[in-house]
Every structure is written in C-alpha cells, then in structure tokens.
Amino acid sequence: MKTQFYSFIENLQDEITTALENADGNATFKEDLWKRPEGGGGRTRVVENGRVFEKGGVNVSAVHGTLPQAMQDYFKVSDAQFYACGISLVLHPKNPMVPTVHANFRYFELYDQKGEIKDQWFGGGMDLTPYYLFEEDAQHFHSICKTACDAHDPSFYKKYKARCDDYFWNTHRNEARGIGGLFFDYLRPTSEWPTSKWYAFVTAIGKAFLPAYLPIVEKRKQQTYTPEQRQWQEIRRGRYVEFNLVHDKGTAFGLKTQGRIESILMSLPPHVQWPYNHIPEEGSPEAALVKVLKQPRQWV
C-alpha cells in the first residue's frame, strides 16, 4: 500500500504543478530533491513571484525510522518504527480576489519490534481560505467535495465537512481559518472498509482538488483590486500563519520528527501584516467575510 500510494501522490504532484503553471502563465515550479538523514526524503516544488501565485508549494515526501519520543508519547507506543508519506500543498495568490488553498493527503504505518504493521491509516483533506467572499466560489468548491464524497458514502461529506470546520479553527481568535472543505484522519482498515477502499476514497478526493480550485482561479485572477484590498489580504494572511504555527498538527509532526524545515514552513506567505486591533468597517465586504468565519455555514 505504501508503494502504491506514494506512486499516486508523485503523479498527482506532476498533474497539479503542470496545471498551476498553465494557470499562472509565467512562473514555473522550482524542484528541490532532498534526503532525510534519519530515513527517507522528498520532492519539494515551490513557485514564487508568479503572475497569479505569489508563493506556493506542492510537496511529496516519504519518511521512515524510529518514532521520536514526543510522537511515541502521543501515540502511546514505545520503540516504534514508522513510515509516513504524503502530498501537501499551499498556494498564496497575489490577487486578493483569488483565495488561498491548502490540501494534504497522507498515509501512515506503525510497526512493532518484529517489523509487522501494528497500525495504519490515511488522512487528509482540502480547504479554501478566501479574502473576499464570493458565495458562488464557496458553493463550487464544496459541491466538488460533496460529489467526490458521495461516490463513496453519502454520509462522508457532512461528517468530514464538520471535522474541517472544527479542525481549522483559530481558538485564540474564535474564528475559522477559512470557509472549510474536508478534513479526515485515522481512516483505519475495518472489515467493511479495508485499506483498498480507503485508498480509493482518499485518491478520489486528491483527484478532485484541481476541479475544485482551478475554475475559481480562472474566474478571479484578472479582477482588479485596490491597495486597501491588498492590505486586507495581508492582514488575513496573518491569521493563516497563526493557525499553522500554533494549532496545525502536520506542522507539529514535521518539527518533532526532524522534518525538513524549508518544506514544513513552505506554507507561510511572503507578505503579512499584524496591525494592532484591526476591525473592518461595519457593512463592508471585509466585515461580511469575518461574519462567516465566526459562524461556519453550509454551502451545499
């Protein structure tokens, strides 16, 4: 399974970076191959200063070895060996009318002292972080997510949408990071849902990323914007940074497993602002966004 899934995410990385380069029309992804001294490595691809994408990355990695003590404590195991592979992407567009997007799809195996698999699971999802709220964009993104889920189980969209709203919540701000999408973790094999069925589900969600996001990019990338709207984008990016550094489990896992720091912090935007106590004007489009972030909505 780990070989099969890693092959899938390598191909998905190729598809996504090619499509994004075409959408940008100017920038190309720089590739950085790296190895992890403790075991494994990855293929990082980063785009910067593009016509559409100010910064972004689409990374794949496969790491293995002894689980660090902090993670052994977390999983309540001792002397455990692990294998983890996944694809992770974040895109920060230049135009504030184009939303930031994040997606991640991963597979994990935990072994006993004999090298036998004692635990395995899939995780992942994708979510949208707009700076200006276009309801039709939110509906499009969520409808693609729902369609992909419904093909496997009609209950999945509602469940994993709710988990996304719960997970991407900046508790110290009492607001969501964005308008959500899907989030799932610890998809372990059962008699009803063997690993092969979870693989089919997770890869289907991975394939849904481009249809969910690219039409929004194409629709919004040439819209005009003001310096004030750009400033608002940079303020909201600050909230994105806060979540990734304070709450995100993937960032924590990477840092605690001696992960590659440049790949882990690829998700951070290049230009961010933290003005003191900034409150958007009542009745403004900026205030409308914050209202939705305070109270997550059903989009489909």
- The percent of residues in the chain predicted with pLDDT above 70, rounded, is 99
CB 183 within 8 A of CB 243: no
Beta partners for residue 120, in sequence order: 109
Residue-level pLDDT at 267? 87
**pTM, entire model:** 0.95
Q: Catalytic: which of 64, 92, 102, 271?
A: 102
Rounded distance between C-alpha atoms, residue 64 and residue 86, angstroms: 12
Residue-level pLDDT at 285? 98
Residue-level pLDDT at 250? 80
Average pLDDT of span 87-92: 97
- Report pLDDT digits (tens) over 247-283: 998 888 778 766 788 888 888 999 999 999 999 999 9
Residue-level pLDDT at 265? 86
Residue 102 is a catalytic residue: yes
Q: Which of 133, 158, 132 is closest to 145 using CA atoms?
A: 158
Q: Which CATH architecture has domain 2-269+284-294?
A: 3-Layer(aba) Sandwich (3.40)
Q: Is 221 helix (H, G, I), strand (E, B) or coil?
A: coil
Count the alpha carbons within 13 Å of 274 in the hemisphere toward its beta carbon: 5
Averaged pLDDT of the chain: 94
Residue-level pLDDT at 271? 95
